[in-house]
Every structure is written in C-alpha cells, then in structure tokens.
Amino acid sequence: MTDTSPKSFSPRIFSGIQPSGGLTLGNYLGAIKRFVAAQEQGIETIYCLVDLHAITVWQDPAKLRNATRELAAGYLAAGIDPRRSILFNQSQVPAHAQLAWIFNCVARMGWLRRMTQFKDKAGKHAEEASVGLFAYPNLMAADILVYHATHVPVGEDQKQHLELARDIAIKFNHDFGLEFFPVVEPVIEGAATRVMSLRDGTKKMSKSDPSDQSRINLTDDADAIASKIRKARTDPEPLPESVDGLEGRAEARNLVNIYAALADIAPAEVIAQFGGQGFGALKPALAELAVEKLSPLNAEMRRLMQDPAEIDRLLGEGAERAHSIAQPILEQTLDIVGMIRSRRG
C-alpha cells in the first residue's frame, strides 16, 4: 500500500499554456518569459501544452495540430531547453485526465460555479457550453497535482483557478486523512502579470479578442509590432512623474508595464526615464524595444516550424519523462481512493 505518512514536497514548478491559436505578448510576458527565468534557477521545471484544455471550445483538428507545434516552437524559441525542462503535450500523458476524473468527484458544483472565467467565456450561452469548459479547472488542478508540483507561475487571470487547485488538494487530503497532495503556491510576479489590450486598457490582451490591433502576436513582423504600438490607445496627459500617478490611467500603466517587463526593469525606472514626457517619446522607444526583443524570437519560431517532425520528437521525449513522474503519483492516488490495481505486473 501507499505510504500515507506526512510528506515534505521538494520544489517543483509546473505550468501550462493552451494551444488554442496564436501566442500573444501577454502569454510571453505573463508566462513564457517567466518560465525561462524559473528554468535558469535550477529548480525542476515541467511545462505543458494543454491540448485537452483547448478542446473545451471547438478546435478544427488540423489547426489544433498546427497551433500545438507553433506553441512548442514559441516555448523553444523563448529559451525553454527541452533537456533542462520537461516540455510535452498534455494528451500524451493519460494520468492528467485520469486524475481529473477523481477531482471531478472531489470538487463541488458550487466551487466551479464561482469561476469567473467560465462565466466570461460561456457568457449568456452557458447551457450550450461544453461540460469540459465547466469542469476545466479540475483538469488544471490535476495537471499540477499529478506531479506534486509546488509552484505554478501564471498570469493574474489564472489566480482563481489556482485557488481551486489548493481547495481540491486540501479537501482530498482531509477526506482521506493524509497529506498526499501539496497545497500549491501561485507565483504571480513582475510588471506584466496582466498585460492589457492595446485598444482598451481595462480589458486583458487576449488571443480571442476580435480586434487584431488589440494585441501583439509573437508571429507579428517588425512593422506590425511597431504600428500596433504607435496606434495603441492612450490619454492626452503626459506621463506622470511617479508610479502612483498611473492610478486611473489604464492605458498609460499598460505601456509602462510592457516596457518594464520587456526591458527587465521596474516600472519606476521607466517612469524615471519618461515621466513628464508625452507618449510621443515613450511609444517609439517601446516599439523599438519590442521589435528588438520579439524579432529574434519570431525568426526562431519560423525556423523551428520548418521541421514539425523534430518538434513532435522533442514533445514525445518530454511526454515520456512526464509520464514517468505522473504515473506513480496517479497509482498512489488510486490506492488511496480504494481502486484495486488488478492489472499491476
């Protein structure tokens, strides 16, 4: 039987991104860039392309395959090293979906009904939404907990889902009277945990926004990046002399935060440089910085996409490594819940 004594969990980082078509500057600054930084710290890092999450809304199969490879290219181009981090697509490690089923039976309807992202995505058509879209946070909890991951770097919009993952771990541990799953720590840090739309500073930059002008895509060329920043919505005031002066100025704050995250400096340093000046000074500097940082990434993504078989091979290797961590944890979970593992060799 499984050892049920209290455990101390060694640090392990897990995070995931949906291959639902097109990476944005928000995904890059809020997630991928920070995943690379975590990898550089020498902690064990596991990064997933969550294809099972993507199909909670309709995906054309050919486009899904392409988006998955493009996302893999994005991770690799940004600096995820498949030897140091485990990089794989979720559907290839069945333990995620199996643990998610158990979590469907742990989480309560009321917990999921509170999820604001479901309300936003399903909107007025909740009755027409897939069951998967509703239950998705349980799968997300399984993604993390099937590795006993302790830290999860994400953007601000995933905070509520991580709180649910904590609640699921706590309830499971309590129900079965042991400390089996770690209570995960969300890691939501830096200037760009919520990159906003370039057209409306109150809305998140998102791949699903109908306006392409609202976002910078990692596949945009230098001209498109510069033009979108030039046309970004602003207000008529000059930039404030202190960060506090950004209060109530969503668009100005967004451009300052994007600049800070791209340059790896604090927003206060951006203000020290541009405070008191108009957007005529900040925008060209930001466009130049964004092109400088994103163009090499874009070129490397295009190079990697020329060899899809190599991308698939790397993902397959990652899936093997992921499976070898996840499977024993799933089997221990089955023991705890009371399933007879009759097929065990």
| Contacts with ligand TYM, residue ranges (CB under 6 A) | 14-18, 26-27, 30-31, 50, 53, 140, 143-144, 152, 154-155, 157-158, 161, 192-195, 204-205
Q: How far is the CB of 163 from ligand TYM (least distance, A)?
A: 13
Please confirm, yes or no, whether 121 is among the known catalytic residues.
yes
Q: How far is the CB of 165 from ligand TYM (least distance, A)?
A: 8
Residues composing the chain: 345
What distance in Å separates the CA atoms of residue 268 and residue 260, rounded to the nearest whole number?
Answer: 9
CB hemisphere CA count around 335 (13 angstroms): 13
Q: How far is the CB of 325 from ligand TYM (least distance, A)?
A: 15
Q: How far is the CB of 177 from ligand TYM (least distance, A)?
A: 26
What distance in Å separates the CA atoms of residue 292 and residue 69, rounded to the nearest whole number?
Answer: 24
Nearer to ligand TYM, 54 or 271 (CB): 54
Nearer to ligand TYM, 93 or 144 (CB): 144
Which residue among the candidates 204, 228, 283, 293 is catalytic per the annotation?
A: 204
Which residue among the candidates 124, 159, 207, 283 is catalytic per the annotation?
A: 207
Nearer to ligand TYM, 226 or 261 (CB): 261
Report the residue number whose CB is nearest to ligand TYM: 30
Please confirm, yes or no, whether 207 is among the known catalytic residues.
yes
Nearer to ligand TYM, 144 or 314 (CB): 144
The neighbour count for residue 239, using CB atoms within 10 Å, is: 22
Q: How far is the CB of 3 from ligand TYM (least distance, A)?
A: 26
* Helix, strand, coil distribution of the chain in percent, nearest 5: 60, 10, 35
Per-residue CA distances from 9 to 13, 171, 218, 255 (Å): 12, 18, 36, 39
**Bridging pattern class, strands 151-153 and 44-49:** unpaired
What distance in Å separates the CA atoms of residue 294 and residue 284, rounded to the nearest whole number?
Answer: 15
Nearer to ligand TYM, 69 or 277 (CB): 69
Please confirm, yes or no, whether 204 is among the known catalytic residues.
yes
φ and ψ of 92, to 5 deg: -85, -5
Catalytic residue numbers? Answer: 121, 204, 207
